[in-house]
Amino acid sequence: MNAYLIPKNPHPGLGQQSISYPLSTRETLTIGREPSRCQILIDSSYYQGVSRVHAEIKPVNYPTTHNILTWEISDYSSNGTYINGNKIQQSHILQPGDVIQLGKDGPEFIFNYQPQAFPTRKNNDSISVSQLLPVISKENSLAKKGLLIPGILTSVFVVSLFFAGSNPNLFNTLLGLYIIIICYHVIYRACGKDKPWWLLVGVAIAEILILVSPILLLFIIVFRGILPGGIEQNNLASAFIANFFGAGLMEELLKAIPAFILIFVSRFLKSPWREKIGIWEPLDGILILAAAGAGFTFIETLGQYIPRIVAAGGELAGLQLLIPRTIGAIAGHMAYSGYFGYFIGLSMLKPSKRWLLLGIGWVTSSALHGLWNASASISANPFFVSLFLASAGIVSYMFLMAAILKARELSPSVNRFGTYQK
């Protein structure tokens, strides 16, 4: 190791007494109060201004003509990280002798290292077996990078659709499920964080079970009976009010139930299960709530809308509704719930503002939901209705993707280059 941190003033507040902390040329070093996530552990009883995950130091290839390996520090704290007395904005390339301070009155470390140039590769005209057959050497990488599963699922679903052609209900179910999975995969890849597939599938199934349980009836009574979710929709204003309460607030809260259950359960688990299952940051919230949105889309589309349309207009009409409704989930149910999930995860990072953040997320996601549902009331002209619907979908998608980008900035699990840090 040619880089290290030295405590400027050794103090019992450092969870582990060390003359120096070596920095890896491959791994990220995390500093903070969270024992399960930090390599340099800070005792909060001495330094209350240090966050659970305060800062990370990671190796980077500094963009010079010499390809020098150096280190970058990123701030994820509430009270800031200071380099030589100056507060950094998100990240900073460290220089030898830099003094790192966690918060205004937190512990200080001195960074030092000896520059190391990358070795240059020699030209080699020989051809290896792995070059001729890349699949041999990259088989494991395909799975680890999430590139193998989509191909396997696509092949399985294509063959299944061929055999299900004589059974319209099965065909619609398989097609709808495949489209929903692909839409969710886009969100998953955009987030760039690992979350167990069985957990995400379990959340979607749990949401389906909630919607076929008496819980749904109770919510309908409250939001569409007691609250104005069931008022008559005579114009755009009344349609928005009805859908804000009767669709937005009601359905977004229904989709958030699995997330709140996971938050509660994970508190009783030990590491690493508590990190895998729980919601500890905005990316966790987005992934979990978007999975609930996928389950909601599946049961609402295949269990409610399609049977009604098929009964009235035939199998072709059902298929024509199935495809746009499931594709639209990425700018619909998954977008609304994923946006709410961002605020649920953010509330875990900022517990003192928890109820405010939860309220903002719930109301905002419900407003996006209500806006889409009320679009049909904007005009009697189909062109203007279609234009408004498209605009509402674009806005919802933008809100979701903006939340994902902000969540990646805040996340201690994804670096600025988009790489997941295990």
Cβ atoms 282, 346 nearer than 8 A: yes
Structure tokens at 56: 């990370």
Task: Determine the Cα–Cα distance for residues 340 and 293; give it in Å rounded to an integer.
Answer: 11
Q: What is the pLDDT of residue 12?
A: 62
* 116-127: pLDDT as tens digits: 544 555 556 677
Query: Which CB contacts under 8 angstroms, 24+ apart, belong to 154-161?
Result: 154/178
From residue 259, give the alpha-carbon distance in Å to each of 46, 276, 384: 34, 13, 37
Give the best-scoring range by mean pLDDT among 48-52, 116-120, 177-181, 385-389.
177-181
Outline where 93-235 has alpha helix (H). Answer: 129-132, 134-137, 139-144, 149-163, 168-191, 197-211, 214-220
Quickly state the pLDDT bin for 65 (edges 50, 70, 90).
Answer: very low
Q: Which of 21-25, 50-54, 144-148 has the lowest mean pLDDT?
A: 144-148
- Confidence band, pLDDT 50/70/90 cuts, at residue 11: low
pLDDT surpasses 90 at 61 = no
Could you give the CA distance from residue 107 to residue 11 in angstroms, rounded to a whole number? 8
- The pLDDT tens digits of the residues spanning 321-344 come to 999 999 999 999 999 999 999 999
**Residue recorded with tokens 């290896």:** 128
Pull the structure tokens for residue 367: 């407003």
**For residue 20, what pLDDT is reported?**
79
- Eight-state DSSP code of residue 285: H
- For 184-207, the pLDDT digits (tens) are 999 999 998 889 999 999 999 999
Q: How confident is the model at residue 115 (pLDDT cuts 50, 70, 90)?
A: low
Residues 372, 150: Cα–Cα separation, whole Å: 30
Instruction: Summarize pLDDT for 344-380 with one digit per residue, the tens.
Output: 999 998 999 999 999 999 999 999 999 999 988 888 8
CB 74 within 8 A of CB 414: no
Q: Left, alpha or beta for 341 (phi > 0: left; psi -120 to 50: alpha)?
A: alpha
> How far apart, in Å, are the Cα atoms of 160 and each of 65, 154, 155, 157, 319?
53, 10, 9, 5, 17
Residue 417 confidence (pLDDT) = 38
pLDDT digits (tens, 9 = 90+) for 224-260: 999 999 999 988 999 999 999 999 999 999 999 999 9
